[in-house]
Amino acid sequence: MLLKGKRLGVGAARTGLVLGPMQATGGYGMFGEQGQEKTTPYQLPIGTPLHELGHSVFALPDLYEVNASTTCPDDYPNRGIGAWSLMAAGSDGYRVTPEEYPGTTPVPLDAWSKLMLGWVNPIVSRERAELTAGGDAGATADNTVYKVVVNDTGTEYFLIENRQNSGFDQGLQWPLGADFAGGILVYHIDDSIDCAENKCNTRAVGRHPRVHLETGGRACISKETGWALGSDAYRKGSKGSAVTVFLNATSTPSNSRRWLLKTQDKGLSSGVTIKDISAAGPVMRVRVIKP
């Protein structure tokens, strides 16, 4: 059993110290001292504390599915964006070595979290772009994320990033294996979804999550099908060497249809096509056709 960290709040003084309510600017964090996933109990690594700091210091929400009773289309409990972010299951990341435990090499933040914090300046104006993996030595704020807006208000958009077996993304070896190939991730974002009470990734009837991963091989991420799969990422050959279009309005299971809450607009094609993705590598090429 791994003792999970939680951010808590109390409204009264304790021994002269007042601890605030559980808000982005208040409360306190704590985490268990010992993990027991392996034969011998071990000191809890850095992954869980970093995840909780994401809440308490940077006001980031959980990006795993917060209502566990909700199911994916395949009837398994939905797990948000799985192991692909520190703010989801990626806080348990580790390299496949005897010396590492869950959380020793936590996976970095996802593209949306970095955008919310102002840590990236996404590419927005070019049809063709080269994206550097965030864990690569050549990564900067300007060459790691591509943003494609699909509605007039700018609240619904796609974020594209390159994820490889380098840097802290080596923590993805936990679900993907020591030699995972990497590739392009495509997130579908709707910033009109309210994050109050940490519910921005709640999937309920008539509601979609704020941050969704357009996976290449399944409708959504679930515990039973894996926290991350190699097919979640796009790369040349991942859908057959002859395929050049990786995501558009008719691709399955991923698609670029709009999520707009207006009934007459929901499900209409966004006009976005992602194609001509290169082979996996520290720098990957991608072509985005947009309206």
Q: What is the pLDDT of residue 229?
A: 92
Percent of the chain with pLDDT over 90: 45
In sequence order, what are the residues at sequence separation of 6 or more whose Cβ sits closer than 8 angstroms to the Cβ of residue 131?
123, 143, 144, 145, 146, 160, 161, 162, 184, 283, 284, 285, 286
Which of 6-20, 139-153, 177-191 shows the lowest mean pLDDT across its residues? 6-20
Mean pLDDT, rounded, of the chain: 82
pLDDT of 123 above 50: yes
Which of 31-35, 126-130, 262-266, 267-271 shows the lowest mean pLDDT across its residues? 262-266
In eight-state DSSP terms, residue 224 is T
Mean pLDDT in residue range 140-148? 97
Mean pLDDT in residue range 111-116? 97
178 against 217, higher pLDDT: 178
Most confident of 159-163, 167-171, 203-207, 260-264: 159-163
212-259, pLDDT tens digit by residue?
899 888 877 877 788 899 999 999 988 877 788 999 888 888 888 887
In eight-state DSSP terms, residue 267 is T
66-112, pLDDT tens digit by residue?
776 566 665 566 778 999 999 999 999 999 998 888 899 999 999 99
With CA atoms as reference, report the closest residue to 84 among 40, 135, 31: 135
Q: What is the pLDDT of residue 287?
A: 96
Asked if 90 contacts 189 with a C-beta cutoff of 8 angstroms, the reply is no
Q: What is the pLDDT of residue 204?
A: 65
Q: What is the pLDDT of residue 58?
A: 93
Beta strands in 70-182 (DSSP E): 128-132, 145-149, 156-163
Q: What is the pLDDT of residue 93?
A: 94
Q: What is the pLDDT of residue 253?
A: 80
pLDDT of 12 above 80: no
Mean pLDDT in residue range 125-153? 92
| Confidence bin at 44 (pLDDT 50/70/90) | confident
In eight-state DSSP terms, residue 186 is E
